[in-house]
Amino acid sequence: MTHRGDRALQVAGLARVEGEGAMRVRVVDGRVSDVRLEIYEPPRFFEAFLRGRRYTEPPDITARICGICPVAYQLSACQAIEDACGVEVGGAVADLRRLLYCGEWIESHALHVYLLHAPDFLGYPGVVELARDHRDIVERGLALKKAGNAILEVLGGRAVHPVNIRVGGFYRAPDRAALATLRPALRRALDDALATVSWVAGFNFPDFTHEHEMLALVEPGRYAIERGTPRTDRGLTFPVREFETHVREEQVPHSTALHAHLAGCGRYLTGPLARFALSRQWLSTAAAQAATAAGLDGGCRNPFRSIVVRAVELTYAVEEALRLIDGYEPPARSYVEVPAREGRGYGATEAPRGTLFHRYELAADGILRSARIVPPTSQNQACVEDDLRRFVQDRLDLDDRRLTHDCEQAIRNYDPCISCATHFLDLTVEREPA
């Protein structure tokens, strides 16, 4: 028998996350002794089988790492390969990439805010049960998600694994009329996104703050999405090509995802909280006003309030998409020629859940010699575990059922994508004798 000071909490199949994982917390003598975010999603070996492929293939192949954020993979891959080949993509083609990425941010953030995370705050197991009591709210979330998916469908051909993206640009650039069809839904989406910020800002948030260093891409002048320079809130900055010098991945026995640390600094956080900390001065007007109204002016270090930041970013992505559509002039050519050459290339973009890094090495004939991918969830894993450790320690008076529920919510703060990280969740809390 265990006595009161010893507990073992576990969730063997975390819900409302992308992919599969578990959580295990062990409490011995009233102290949290061990916290593990276990990722048991089976490995799929992308970095291994990318070797021997043509340099034109990573955008399509790596998209399949994640069905929620395929555009992040496609555009990090394109950027890395273009870097290896010494080609830069600008102008209208670059604007179309940003528009496509806005579509993914809208779709993914709406999915997370409404379908995955909000049910936690309102005490529902999922969106279907939430819809029984608040159908209008769920319909608003689905309309937002649909507006994002519509961008992906018009510009990319389909919402999951879009087909119109190639190294150098797009197979076909849309005409102004095609993009204009997106405007009415996006105008409604802007109102819906602003309503989302007010809605989630009114949730009850546990009193909790993190002390993680935060890393995001920064592109002075605008909120970084599809490109930028890595920077942390403690002043570290480095070019994308030095990512692997500063970010070290290590393997832990309980996970098929690698854990990333900043060399010499330790754990760090990437994603909406980090982006907001580093780039909020560049938010668009409506998004900035919504952030102020939501009480985010002093910054946000409470991971539970990440849902508010996500809603602010949702607003930004909608405004930015409208701006890009209004200013669009079709490019003379839908892509830039990217001739193969021997070399290494590096790419990083801001996936909805954080910075996504790719590196490829090409032979002179365009065949890939090596590939390396660092997804956001493996970067955040150490932070999630640290949050859980501190969170559980302060709430040991709660019963197992309540504590387990709160821990799951704490994990979902990070919108973990386990499919991405495998290379994630069940919750087990073990309370055992010392």
Partner 1 sequence: MATPTLAVWKFASCDGCQLSLLDCEDELLALAGAVRIAHFLEASSAVADGPYDISLVEGSVTTAGDVARIHRVREQSGVLVTIGACATAGGVQALRNGADVEEFRRVVYARPEYVATLAESTPISAHVPVDYELRGCPISRAQLLELLGALLAGRRPRLPTHSVCFECKSRGTACVLVAAGTPCLGPVTQAGCGAICPAYGRGCYGCFGPAARADTDALAPVLRVAGVAGEDLARLYRTFNAAAPAFRAAAGRAESAAGEATDHEGGGDDPPR
Angle between helical axes of 272-279 and 306-326 (0-180°, round to 10): 60
Fill in the per-residue mask, 403 to 422: x = in contact with partner 1 (CB under 8 A), - = not in contact: -----x----------x---
Scanning 45-53, 229-237, 278-286, 391-399 for contacts with partner 1 by CB under 8 A, the matching segment is 45-53
The CB-side HSE value for 154 (13 A sphere, CA atoms) comes to 24
* Single residue of 45, 175, 234, 434 touching partner 1 by CB under 8 A: 45
Contact (Cβ atoms closer than 8 angstroms) between residue 93 and residue 336 = yes
The residue type found at 195 is: A
* Single residue of 3, 29, 91, 125 touching partner 1 by CB under 8 A: 125
Min separation Cβ 199 and partner 1, Å: 18
Name the nearest CA neighbour of 341 among 317, 308, 309, 363: 363
CA pair distance 18, 269, nearest whole angstrom: 19
Fill in the per-residue mask, 342 to 371: x = in contact with partner 1 (CB under 8 A), - = not in contact: ---------------------x-x-x----
Q: Does 142 bind partner 1 (CB under 8 A)?
A: yes
Q: Does 99 bind partner 1 (CB under 8 A)?
A: no
* Single residue of 29, 133, 139, 175 touching partner 1 by CB under 8 A: 139
CA pair distance 115, 110, nearest whole angstrom: 8
Q: Does 248 bind partner 1 (CB under 8 A)?
A: no
**Considering CB under 8 A, how many residues would be counted as binding partner 1?**
69
Q: Consult the annotation and say whether 417 binds a ligand.
A: yes
Closer residue to partner 1 in complex, CB, 284/409: 409
CA pair distance 313, 339, nearest whole angstrom: 36
For tokens 């992906």, the residue is 152
Q: Hey, which residues between 16 and 35 contact partner 1 (CB under 8 A)?
A: 16-20
Which residues partner with 344 through β-bridges? Answer: 361
Residue 118 C-alpha from the chain's centroid: 17
Residue 418 C-alpha from the chain's centroid: 11
Q: How far is CA 202 from CA 121, 196, 250, in A?
A: 10, 10, 39
- At 356 the three-state DSSP class reads strand
- At 369 the three-state DSSP class reads strand
Q: Consult the annotation and say whether 66 binds a ligand.
A: yes
- At 260 the three-state DSSP class reads strand
Closer residue to partner 1 in complex, CB, 49/202: 49
* Single residue of 143, 178, 236, 262 touching partner 1 by CB under 8 A: 143
User: Which tokens sit at 11?
Assistant: 């969730």
* Single residue of 32, 78, 138, 288 touching partner 1 by CB under 8 A: 138
CA pair distance 386, 115, nearest whole angstrom: 26
Q: Does 57 bind partner 1 (CB under 8 A)?
A: yes
Closer residue to partner 1 in complex, CB, 21/347: 21
Q: Does 327 bind partner 1 (CB under 8 A)?
A: no
Min separation Cβ 55 and partner 1, Å: 12
Q: Consult the annotation and say whether 265 binds a ligand.
A: no
Contact (Cβ atoms closer than 8 angstroms) between residue 314 and residue 113 = yes
Q: Does 52 bind partner 1 (CB under 8 A)?
A: yes
* Single residue of 58, 59, 70, 103 touching partner 1 by CB under 8 A: 70
Scanning 141-149, 175-183, 290-298, 351-359 for contacts with partner 1 by CB under 8 A, the matching segment is 141-149
CA pair distance 18, 143, nearest whole angstrom: 21
Q: How far is CA 187 from CA 10, 308, 318, 325, in A?
A: 44, 21, 8, 12
The residue type found at 363 is: A
* Single residue of 74, 76, 164, 232 touching partner 1 by CB under 8 A: 164
Q: Consult the annotation and say whether 383 binds a ligand.
A: no
* Single residue of 2, 3, 86, 129 touching partner 1 by CB under 8 A: 129
Closer residue to partner 1 in complex, CB, 41/95: 41
The CB-side HSE value for 18 (13 A sphere, CA atoms) comes to 23
> Binding site membership for Ni(2+): which residues?
66, 69, 417
By the criterion CB under 8 A, which residues form the site for partner 1? 13-20, 41-49, 51-54, 57, 60-61, 64-68, 70, 111, 115, 119, 125-129, 131, 135, 138-139, 142-143, 145-146, 149, 157-161, 163-164, 166, 171-172, 250-253, 256, 258, 363, 365, 367, 408, 419, 423
